[in-house]
Chain A
Amino acid sequence: MDRLRRGDPRAFEELVIAYQHRVFGVALRMLGSRAEAEEAAQEVFLRAHRAIADFRGDAKLSTWLYAIASRLCMNRLASGERRLLREGEETLARIPSGHPSPADELERSERDAALHRAIAELSDERRMVVVLRDLEGLSYEEIASALDLELGTVRSRLHRARMDLKEKLERFLP
């Protein structure tokens, strides 16, 4: 952190290397397009670079970056300037498997498509909570901190989002 605050380029490079996939993942799942996600993720790191001196260190660095990323994505989503066409098929990566049979492959493909759709159809606020919790693995407290929300709000939003997804994915559940 000290090196970062002193403006050590090497420290900033390490930060980008360490968090690039996570920041990019949040942007991709929120914005839907790889190109727009890369643009947004780059902007997140540039903002972090400019504001690193203001980072007080009372939250984890990752939470701080998620906070910047989530704000930037929500602003873009609210601005109406973003592209309407989302690359839905890119929203979620494929679930890895061993050597599936053609039947398994077909079922997995259908399930993935349904999963993309279901996540993409969530409201922006619920999608953000699900992404941070179930795809990025943040704790409730970290999510509350990143999104500047009450813990109870995070909990209820997350539950609503999961219930929506459960209904839409019913036929793929065991």
Chain B
Amino acid sequence: MTCHDAREQLSALIDDALGAAERGAVEEHLATCAECRRELERLRDTVALLRAVEPARAPAGFVDRVLEAARPKPWPRRLFRALLLPWPVKLPIEAAAIVLVAVGVVYVFRSTLEPARFYDAPPSGTTILSDTARPSSDASRDAARPPEATRAQGATRAKETARTLEGGRPQEAVRAREAERAPEAAKAKERDRAPEKQALEKKSPEGPPAAKTTPAPEAFKEAGQQSKDADERRAKLDDTARDVAKRQANVPPAEPQVAGKLEESPARAERSQDTAGARARSLAREPEPRTDTLQAPRAAAPAPAIASFVAPDVSGRLAVPDRDAALQTLARLLARLGGVEDRRFVGDEGPIVELTISREAYPELLRDLAALGRWQLVREAPALPEKVRVVLRITR
């Protein structure tokens, strides 16, 4: 037996785990090999060290904890675990619950916040300088307006409406033809408007004027779809119209009436002109402002009143030392980037500008805004449309 073979058996020799023959052979080699005997002794000492290790003891209370854990659970808990513990059952239930909650949250969020997000919630007391839409909540302020101012402004606007309709623009002709599809009741009322113009003048203010020209739902929807065209038209309005708009800043929009105006075809333009003129005259005579007559000029730009309830794609704040200079720079910037300033408000903190810019030019606009002052992006739609509607609040 070689030293290598003998040393392989030393552990078993120590443990007395060798057969008689193996043991004899190893002992025979050890008798003649001092080196292997020394190896055996060192191995024996190592094993002695290991065996001298004090046995580990389980911590106090271990038995009680094991017995408690092994005790059968009450049947309701076992049933509950049996129902919910298997993953194939548990996972779908949990997933469905998460999806339901998410859908619910999104639904509630959208339905409650949509009106509240109007222009990123401009501060109260905002004065609208544009000639177009305003939140309908302004209606409450109407009552406080001096009747004279309202009448004067109403008359001017009525004349403008008449001029506009007289022009008989083709777009409106198309729209009017589409509006012809509206239910008969609405159309009949519309047709009857001219003959009733005198009667209209005598109607009491309490009479719901919107009811006379309330459009069918379809016509109302069409008016909403025409908001783009209306935006373009709006941009072309002359300075006179803007002055008028300033004076009538607090007049309620009364969208149904606006949509109703869309139903007027070029063929009826003449009639409408008469109606508008008659209204203007009647306004001059009437002691109290009439809501229906005040709405007449709104036919010039009806759609934005509806579009205004759609939240802008982007809103943000621009803090600058000189707001007037910033507005001028913004105007130049828009001219360069091909953007259009749609409206301008005066809020408590400063001007609020709504503008439209192409999606391609939008990143550059953001860069330039950041260069103008301290720019803070408040909201940005996840997916921007071709024409991005931006609301800027310019503050100090």
A20 at the interface (CB under 8 A from B): yes
Binds A, one of B43-51, B181-189, B383-391: B43-51
Q: Are A24 and B50 in contact (CB under 8 A)?
A: no
Q: Are A174 and B49 in contact (CB under 8 A)?
A: no
Distance in angstroms from A88 CB to nearest chain B CB is: 14
Q: Are B12 and A159 in contact (CB under 8 A)?
A: yes
Contacts A34-B59, A155-B17 given; does A115 touch B53 at CB 8 Å: yes
- A12's closest neighbor in chain B, by CB? B70
CA distance A134 to B58 in the complex (A): 19
Contact with A along B49-70 (1 / 0, CB 8 A): 1111111111100110111011
Q: Are A95 and B54 in contact (CB under 8 A)?
A: yes
Q: Are A135 and B67 in contact (CB under 8 A)?
A: no
The interface size bin for chain B is 20 to 34
Q: Are A49 and B70 in contact (CB under 8 A)?
A: yes
CA distance A159 to B10 in the complex (A): 8
A92 at the interface (CB under 8 A from B): yes
A60 at the interface (CB under 8 A from B): no
Mostly helix, strand, loop or mixed at chain A's interface?
Answer: helix
Q: Are A24 and B53 in contact (CB under 8 A)?
A: no
A162 at the interface (CB under 8 A from B): yes
Q: Are B66 and A24 in contact (CB under 8 A)?
A: no
CA distance A158 to B57 in the complex (A): 24
CA distance A147 to B297 in the complex (A): 95
B42 at the interface (CB under 8 A from A): yes
Q: Are B58 and A41 in contact (CB under 8 A)?
A: yes
B198 at the interface (CB under 8 A from A): no
Contacts A21-B57, A159-B11 given; does A169 touch B65 at CB 8 Å: no
Distance in angstroms from A158 CB to nearest chain B CB is: 6
Q: Are A162 and B11 in contact (CB under 8 A)?
A: yes
Q: Are A46 and B69 in contact (CB under 8 A)?
A: yes
Q: Which residues from B are CB-within-8-Å of A34?
A: 59
Q: Are A163 and B43 in contact (CB under 8 A)?
A: yes
Q: Are A135 and B12 in contact (CB under 8 A)?
A: no
- B14's closest neighbor in chain A, by CB? A162
In the A-B complex, the 3 residue pairs with the smallest Cβ-Cβ separation, listed nearest first, are: A25-B56, A93-B54, A24-B58
15 A–B contacts from the bound complex (CB under 8 Å)? A13-B63, A20-B58, A20-B66, A29-B56, A42-B62, A46-B66, A95-B54, A134-B50, A135-B55, A140-B15, A156-B8, A159-B12, A162-B11, A165-B50, A174-B45
